[in-house]
Structure 1
Amino acid sequence: MEALAQALSCPVCLDLFSPPVLLLPCTHNFCKKCLDEILIHQNCSHVNGQFNCPMCRKIVHLRGRGITGLPRNTLVECILEKFKYELENLHVKEQNHLSQICKEHGEMMNLLCLTEDKPICAICKLFGDHESHSVAKISEVYAERKSRLVKDLDWMFQQSQCAEQAKKDLEEKMNVLTCTTADVKLMIDAVGASLLKGIQWRMAELKTKLGKDYAAKLEKLQLVANALQVPSHLHYQMKTLLEKHSNPVCFLQEVKLLRSKIEKCIEGNSLQQDTNYDISVGQYFKDLIRGIHVTNYISSNSEDILASSNEPSEIFRPDCPAFSFSDEVSNEAFCQKVLEFFQKSNKVKEDIMQKVP
């Protein structure tokens, strides 16, 4: 093997040839990378250049193609490939043999220490640390454990088949779960959007009704405000008449006109007392939640759920109160809670308005 390895070694790098192996006209073989270095060393850079063989110093002409024009020694490359294969097998066999040699005594390990479950040689049993241990022939233990491993291999193959099938079933379930989740989300979005649209429509309807109600009552209040200025004007006219009338005839004529205005003023006061100008928060609230059990939508953990959601909600606006209830709170209790909140809010606003000079 050493002689063959020497024959298959490059005379330049002294290692086994690295394909491609180029053959010179003088029959000497070199690695292509080694020839490249030789050309550089001999200052041969032209495709028509020439160089000397490092072995016999014979001149080699490149003839216009550089070293790519030199023939490859495919026979050496084939022998080299087989040599490397046999060399690797030989190395494996040597390693296999060394693995069966006792490092302490250099003898073949043909026994197995059953106490420590460790391969040993005969000297280890007779004179070494395993003298008092139970042993068995490696060949017998090897045959028994190999047979058991074959049985375990069959069982493990069945388990792997079952595991593969179970894995496929799990993948199908995960796919179904993903699809179902997507469908449910679409349903929630669609139905929820429809419900929200209905609520928004009712909100718009009530806001329109509230606007008309507000305009009508404001118009009446403006009429009342105008009517409240009549007594002051009449008082001034009556006082002026008493102080500055010129004769009885004029006085009687003026009094007749004033009397008509006084009767209208009295009539206006009675209408003002009988008219209701308030807008009922409670009535609008009942119209808003008509047919809706609001406690189904607001619970003790509603704020936590909304806070953990990635979607922003208008419920977190500063002007929106947060109503939280336990599951036992009734719809009526919630309504009362909301009305008390807005009544309290209105009371605070009235107090602020009264303090404004």
Structure 2
Amino acid sequence: MKTILRLSIAAAFMTHVAFAVPTDIDGFSQAYQQYNLSVDSNNNQDTLKYAQQTYALGQVKFGKDSLDSGKLAINWANALVNESKRNHNGRIIEDAATLQAQKLFESALRVYRNNVADNDIALIDPLVGLAQTTANDKYAKDLLFEAISAAEKADNLLTVAEVKLIAFHRLSGTEYYTRTVRSFVMDANDIYVNKLPENAIKRVNSTYLVGALYAAMNRPNDATPLLLEVIKQYQALPYSHPYELHAHALLVTLYEQQGKSNKATEHCVAIGKMTPWDDQQEQTPLFRKPPNYPRSYAERGKDGWVQVEFTVDEHGFVKSPEIIDSKGGYQFERESIEALTQWRYAPKFVDGKPTSAKSKVQLEFTLG
């Protein structure tokens, strides 16, 4: 199976569509009513069932080339996409459901193009849906740029922001991830800052994305206040959001890179409080400095590995590293100890308080 998207992004904007149906001789009204009820109650299986049923009945009732049939195609396609995401941990995978959804979005787009003007905002639904389900990255880019143009022409800023974020996620990791696409996140965040309250989830999420981009661009002064704002907003929620965790982790790296270990500590502790410690597995470092490869060993093509046991103290610092086993020579051991003393971890929590705990790691030294 081919992964089309690694991140779960917004589905097309249309969920309910309205029809003026005076009679129900053909059963359409009843099926459509059941579809709406299943959407409202989050009954995924019934939503899929009745979306397919209303699409089949609607084609007969309204005609295959009618705008109503196009809307019903989008409803069924969205239900199929949601089903695929539920089966694959929130990702859209190129499976049978997604391929069927793609055909429906293609059909809907043809109908829409025949019934609405170019750049009409109504085109956004099939354009975005098809971009999400096609495996053709260039085609997805063209569809999303057309959707952005339609939103901008309608002067609907919140929709512009939404579609730009969808385009950013869909095109990230492809050859079409350009500076223009990267700037979509900044554009969306500017719109949300002006249009939404500071605690609106869409605004906080876009703030995180901008902060993460600045961190990746090695712009700590720009990234840090944004990530701190994300943490502030999500701490007010009664649950932990993944972006809150990621923001803490990014701040650990940013502060350590600047030599500000004391500032990194509060974020190490915060992550430790949010994530369970497993004594049976190797812990994942929040900040990792790779060991230097001994030059004399590299010149001789020598490789090896080093196993080290150490203590992660209540502040997430590495203490008392000890060699358990190694292969390759003493210099590998020395470089491993030197590197590990600069790593940072999330401390173990016991009864709501950070405490010291043992951990271990194996460092590999391999050329090429």
TM-score normalised by the chain length of structure 2: 0.18
Which is bigger in relative contact order (C-alpha 8 A, separation at least 6)? 2
Q: Hey, which of these two has a bigger chunk of helix by percent? A: 1
TM-score normalised by the chain length of structure 1: 0.19
